[in-house]
Amino acid sequence: MSLFLAIAFPLATGAGPMDEALRATEAPETLRAAFTVEMTSEKASRTLTFDPREPRGKRWRLVLANGEDSALDEAAASWGAEAAPDGRLFPDDLRASLGETVEVEDMGAGWRLRFQHAPSANDTALDIWATQRLDAEAWMEPVEGKFLRIDYSLPKPVRGPRGGRLTKFEQSYLLDTEPEWNMTFVSQFKLEFEAKAPFRTMRQSYTAIISEATFFFASPDLEQEFVGVAAGNMTNR
């Protein structure tokens, strides 16, 4: 029998393989994505497509529906109503969320990072309240310098900021690498949520899997600008 002892150590997020992995998550705002997503709950599934090159009323389309689930329909409609639904594929605020240092466990095949979520510009007051009470960890492959997974979980029920109780919260992101530009993107998202108030229980549970994604720049000039900046960064290393 072989025993493996994980090595734990603190690590600054602004240097070494951690900085390289974070750079891969920081896609420029000019990078866009057309994608197909399957959103699935216990009751239903919805397959939708998004393409920012289509007219605004046709960018977000339902192409296949099975089962009935109003909560899933609400989640899909909320996503499609965003100014840039493809923005959910880019975890570009991860550097701010990790803070200046993280606790790392070297698990052999990868690093497990434990951290306290730090507020970012994209966080609302409710987001900040919630993340202060959640356990957070990420998985990273240090050799290639890529993040693989990010998880948030509620260790125990807590009272909500406006009454009631948050009894369950689990949120997971699986990450993949876009091959042409070598950027990290969210390929799967899972949410399980339950909150209780007097005479009412609110639940939401679904998984969103990106089955197809095409990445491109908003214009050829912006693509060339990015290529030039990337070449300059490589020269300066």
- What Rg do the C-alpha atoms of the chain give, in angstroms? 19
Q: Provide the pLDDT for residue 231.
A: 52
- Backbone dihedral region for residue 108 (phi beyond 0: left; psi -120 to 50: alpha; all else: beta): left
Q: Which amino acid is at 167?
A: T
Q: Please tell me whether the overall predicted TM-score, pTM, comes out greater than 0.75 for this model.
A: yes
Does residue 164 contact residue 196 with C-beta atoms inside 8 Å? Answer: yes
Where does residue 48 rank: exposed (0-12), middle (13-18), buried (19+ CB within 10 A)? buried
Q: Provide the pLDDT for residue 2.
A: 45
The CB-based long-range contact list for 50-57 (8 Å cut-off, 24+ gap) reads 50/80, 50/85, 50/86, 52/84, 52/86
Which residues, at least 6 apart from 146, have a Cβ–Cβ distance to it below 8 Å? 21, 24, 140, 175, 177, 184
pLDDT tens digits for range 159-180: 877 778 889 999 999 999 998 8
**Lowest-pLDDT choice from 80-94, 110-124, 161-175:** 110-124
Which residues, at least 6 apart from 227, have a Cβ–Cβ distance to it below 8 Å? none
Nearest to 61 by CA among 84, 80, 45: 80
Q: Provide mean pLDDT across the span 1-12.
A: 66
| Residue 89 DSSP symbol | G
225 vs 228: CA distance, rounded Å: 5
Is the model's pLDDT at 224 over the cut of 90?
A: no
Which residues, at least 6 apart from 61, have a Cβ–Cβ distance to it below 8 Å? 48, 49, 50
DSSP 189-208: EEEEEEEEETTEEEEEEEEE
Length of the chain (residues): 237
Q: Provide the pLDDT for residue 140.
A: 94
HSE-up (13 A, CA, CB side) for residue 75: 24
What residues pair up with 114 in beta bridges, in sequence order? 103, 137
